[in-house]
Amino acid sequence: MKKFALLALLILILGGSGPALAQMKEGSFHLSAMGGLVLPNNQSHFDNGPAALLGLGYNFTRNWGLELMGTYAPNLDNDGQAHVYKNHRWESGQGEGDISMLRVSALYHFDTSSNFVPYISAGLGGQWTKRDAYADYNSVAGTAAIGFKYFFNETVALRIEASETYGFQKKSYAITPKERGRLIAPVVAAGLTFQFGGEGPCLDSDQDGVCDIYDKCPGTPAGYKVDADGCPITVSINLLINFDFDKAVIKPEYYSEVEKVATFLNSHPLSTAVVEGHTDSRGTETYNERLSQRRADAVREALLERFNIDPGRVQAVGYGESRPIADNASAAGRAENRRVVGVITGQDIDKKTD
């Protein structure tokens, strides 16, 4: 039991975090193939060894499923410490043996809207052993497991599990009562699960037309047009405004650049804009951030006062030198990085342009 508790803790540590958004499907089948390690209890007189697992299941809902899982651990060493009645006499000895287990379990999946899906399971099955030195052991068994599935896409998932199978039948062939016991066989395993079939429409929490498993921008406001990644479509307008050194005053000859943003906002009344200010890397980071904010504020004020744009539709953000688009090592690169950009999003924007 202590082994199983430690394995369960390891499962929780390994699977405790992960990016969100994946899909368990109601009415789907799943096929699991895993490899792992079986850790039999001392009274079984088996050493630890490798195990192969193969399972087939069906998800009645996104949370509940049923699974048939087989486990086979071949060529496990016998430790030779027990005496057993075999061939009409008491014997002891060393050799090898196999453990086979079959279980039918109910699975409950906790978070079916994430690609990290923890689960627990419980069920009934059987245990069978074949030994070179000792009498065989067969029993009906109870089983419990804890694990998680991490979906790479809607079809394939990593699966990691810690399970324990508890034989109900005590061994009746040992010499002393101390040696009378059950086969308790914890298994820790990892492999792949393949999900196929099931419900057609995928889970789309923000109803933007992109399945949650592929949506890189969850929680998109209702009505916004999105791209293939589920992110709101944006229009970026580069404003060719030259500011004097350490100044944030827009010269009259550059008002036509500001008008580009105003014209677009007027033609898309459901849109909003963020005016971004950027600098090159000369100067301190704090200085550049403040300068870029002043220049972004100047463009915002021009939109409001000169072109009568609603203040609630325009924000100004100074990013300083943190978002370069060219190499600051050259004069040409620094010139590209000194820029003001209007980034526009909205429900009535359906085509991405730069």
- Residues 147 and 131: beta-carbon distance below 8 Å: no
Residue 255 belongs to a domain with what CATH number?
A: 3.30.1330.60
Residue 280 covered by a domain? yes
Q: Rounded distance, CA 270 to CA 163, Å?
A: 55
Higher pLDDT, 62 or 123: 123
Instruction: Verify that 10 and 141 share a domain, yes or no.
Output: yes
pLDDT mean over 39-51: 80
CB atoms under 10 Å from CB of 168, counted, come to 13
| Tens digit of each residue's pLDDT (9 = 90 or more) over 299-347 | 999 999 999 999 999 999 999 999 998 999 998 888 888 888 888 887 7
Residue 213 covered by a domain? no
- 174-183 residues labelled b (16+ CB within 10 A) or e (exposed): beeeeeebbb
- Per-residue DSSP letters for 110-163? S-TTSSEEEEEEEEEEEEEEEESSS---EEEEEEEEEEEEEESSSSEEEEEEEE
Q: Is the pLDDT of residue 176 over 50?
A: no
| Tens digit of each residue's pLDDT (9 = 90 or more) over 260-270 | 899 988 988 88
Q: Three-class SS of residue 86? A: strand
Residue 222 covered by a domain? no
pLDDT mean over 59-74: 92
Residue 31 belongs to a domain with what CATH number?
A: 2.40.160.20
First to last CA, the chain: 61
Instruction: Verify that 145 and 275 share a domain, yes or no.
Output: no
The pLDDT value recorded for residue 351 is: 57
Instruction: Verify that 249 and 106 share a domain, yes or no.
Output: no
pLDDT band of 89, cuts 50, 70, 90? very low
Instruction: Verify that 70 and 188 share a domain, yes or no.
Output: yes
Domain that includes residue 74, residue range: 2-197
Instruction: Verify that 182 and 248 share a domain, yes or no.
Output: no
pLDDT band of 44, cuts 50, 70, 90? low
Residue 308 covered by a domain? yes
Residue 55 covered by a domain? yes
The pLDDT value recorded for residue 215 is: 82
Q: Rounded distance, CA 352 to CA 189, Å?
A: 46
Residue 227 covered by a domain? no
Instruction: Verify that 256 and 166 share a domain, yes or no.
Output: no
Q: Is the pLDDT of residue 173 over 50?
A: no
Instruction: Verify that 180 and 278 share a domain, yes or no.
Output: no
Q: How many structural domains compose the chain?
A: 2
Q: How many CA atoms lie within 13 A of 306 on its CB side?
A: 18
The pTM of the full predicted model, rounded to 2 decimals, is 0.50
What is the phi/psi pair of residue 261, to 5°? -70, -45
Instruction: Verify that 167 and 243 share a domain, yes or no.
Output: no
Instruction: Verify that 149 and 22 share a domain, yes or no.
Output: yes
The pLDDT value recorded for residue 237 is: 84
Lowest mean pLDDT among 91-95, 154-158, 301-305, 307-311: 91-95
Residue 202 covered by a domain? no
Instruction: Verify that 70 and 18 share a domain, yes or no.
Output: yes
Instruction: Verify that 7 and 126 share a domain, yes or no.
Output: yes
| Tens digit of each residue's pLDDT (9 = 90 or more) over 187-221 | 999 999 999 887 656 678 888 878 777 788 888 88
The token pair that represents 113 in the structure block: 């809207």
Instruction: Verify that 15 and 112 share a domain, yes or no.
Output: yes
Residue where a domain stops, chosen among 146, 176, 197: 197
The pLDDT value recorded for residue 235 is: 82
CB atoms under 10 Å from CB of 332, counted, come to 10
Residue 73 covered by a domain? yes
CA distances from 268 to 255, 265, 299 (A): 20, 5, 19
